[in-house]
Amino acid sequence: MSDTNMRIDGPALWADLLETARFGGTPKGGIRRLTLSEEDRQVRDWFASACEKLGCRVEVDSMGNMFARRAGQDDTLPPITMGSHLDTQPTGGKFDGILGVLGGLAVLRALESSGYETRHPLEVINWTNEEGARFSPPMMCSGVFAGVFDEQEVLDKRDRAGARFGDALEAIGYRGETRCGERPLAAYFELHIEQGPVLEAESRVIGAVSGVQGMRWFEVSLTGRDAHAGSTPMAMRCDALLTAASMIEAVAALARAHGSAALGTVGLIENRPNSSNVVPGEVFFTVDLRHPDDAVLARMEEDLRARFERIAAGSGTVMTLTRIWDAPAVHFDPRCIEMVAEAAREAGYDPRPIVSGPGHDAAYLARVAPTAMIFVPCRDGLSHNEAESITEEEAEAGANVLLGAVLRADRLL
């Protein structure tokens, strides 16, 4: 069979997506599969078993990243890789991340069933802790692989309950011996749902992703004074939650002030002592700023700090503002982007050039290997939500484009 006639098995891919949704499945039809949890271990075991049944060798590195390898005609060549992640948000959907992993599995299955041998070895990768929902920052272990983060510092990270990352990784049995980052890659392709509304609004099936916008994350701690709600006059209060409310409004205001491409979000907040008749004395919250232009993003951070300092000074609270993550804008490899576009056109789709708003493991892989991404639509642009939804046809289309791009890379790289 020629590579131009090869297609992935769409129903088998869809069955895999539904099967893996039971690991951490929620009553509302979503998934809660936090990284390094028991549910994460279960889906990792399933993935490893599925790859081994195809004759792949599965290896795990020191950060828990999984590599399922199908040998090539010249196994000394660096592999062409595909992948994404298996972890989810606390109220995540069935397709975010895992579509890229199972789409890669579908590619290997198509090659195996047709008896086609690639020149390069191929690998499907599951990156640990892409979401950053339990351990922050996100894309943590692809970041270690690319040399962005120090391995020991990541192993020592703790979640909000105090659990250490390295201990949690050991507990689920997925800390390998190979040092993270020592594997060479010929190229990396990541299939993902768009997580936004553009493709659906334009009735496009495939997005050829040119890069990822820049983003910065911050942690904010406010210290006021606990006081009795019934006996403390309003003028004599030092209310940390009220201060936080003004700051949250300021995040939205500064995003609007920096143009239509600017985004600002407060997604996590903790209030203490969190009692109905106590004026709050302590608040912790996070801020997420994003923009495609790194210079604008830097100005947004300056604006954030200035606004927060004014608000804190006016309220009498003590503020600590710490930037915990800085991911500059990423531009993917033009050759790999064109491979995606050509594969889409060959499959009968008109690829839509698009920039990713969310971050992805591909953003860090682009530092160490030629990289590109493929987007497919998601209903109403909804993601990080239990109602996240795509169609079987869209999943199949994305995986077929992934197959076409990988085969082009095998010929040309």
216-256 confidence digits (pLDDT tens): 999 999 999 999 999 999 999 999 999 999 999 999 999 99
Render the burial of 384-400: b for 16+ CB within 10 Å, e for the rest: bbbebbbeeebbbbbbb
Annotated binding-site residue? 338: no
Q: What is the pLDDT of residue 4?
A: 64
CATH of the domain at 113: 3.40.630.10
Annotated binding-site residue? 192: yes
Q: What is the pLDDT of residue 1?
A: 45
Please indicate, yes or no, whether residues 201 and 348 belong to a single structural domain of this protein: yes
Show the tokens assigned to 395.
């999943």
Q: What is the pLDDT of residue 360?
A: 95
Please indicate, yes or no, whether residues 62 and 194 belong to a single structural domain of this protein: yes
Please indicate, yes or no, whether residues 82 and 183 belong to a single structural domain of this protein: yes
**Tokens 């789709």, located at residue:** 349
Please indicate, yes or no, whether residues 370 and 397 belong to a single structural domain of this protein: yes
Shortest CA distance to 111 belongs to which of 183, 5, 206?
5
Q: Are 286 and 217 in contact (CB under 8 A)?
A: yes
Distance CA 216, CA 302 (A): 12
Show the tokens assigned to 103.
């789409």
Please indicate, yes or no, whether residues 234 and 87 belong to a single structural domain of this protein: no
349-381 confidence digits (pLDDT tens): 999 999 998 989 999 999 999 999 999 999 999
Show the tokens assigned to 407.
């085969």
Query: Of 294, 327, 360, at which residue does a domain stop?
Result: 327
Based on the structure, what is the number of domains in the chain?
A: 2
Please indicate, yes or no, whether residues 43 and 163 belong to a single structural domain of this protein: yes
In this prediction, the residues of the chain whose per-residue pLDDT falls under 50 are: 1
Model confidence, pTM = 0.85
Q: What is the pLDDT of residue 5?
A: 81
Q: What is the pLDDT of residue 357?
A: 87
Please indicate, yes or no, whether residues 281 and 341 belong to a single structural domain of this protein: no
Query: Of 309, 327, 345, at which residue does a domain stop?
Result: 327
Render the burial of 229-241: b for 16+ CB within 10 Å, e for the rest: eeebeeeebbbbb
Q: What is the DSSP string of 78-102?
A: PPEEEEE-----TTB-SSTTHHHHH
Please indicate, yes or no, whether residues 149 and 107 belong to a single structural domain of this protein: yes
89-125 confidence digits (pLDDT tens): 999 999 999 999 999 999 999 999 999 999 999 999 9
Please indicate, yes or no, whether residues 204 and 338 belong to a single structural domain of this protein: yes
Full domain range(s) for residue 356: 3-213+329-412
Annotated binding-site residue? 131: yes
Please indicate, yes or no, whether residues 304 and 334 belong to a single structural domain of this protein: no
Query: Of 297, 327, 357, at which residue does a domain stop?
Result: 327
Please indicate, yes or no, whether residues 35 and 177 belong to a single structural domain of this protein: yes
Show the tokens assigned to 114.
């047709």
Please indicate, yes or no, whether residues 19 and 78 belong to a single structural domain of this protein: yes
Annotated binding-site residue? 85: yes
Please report, for residues 43, 164, 177, 274, the alpha-carbon distance to residue 158 in angstroms, rounded to integers and kept in the order given.
Answer: 23, 4, 22, 23
Give me the count of residues in the chain. Answer: 413
Annotated binding-site residue? 380: no
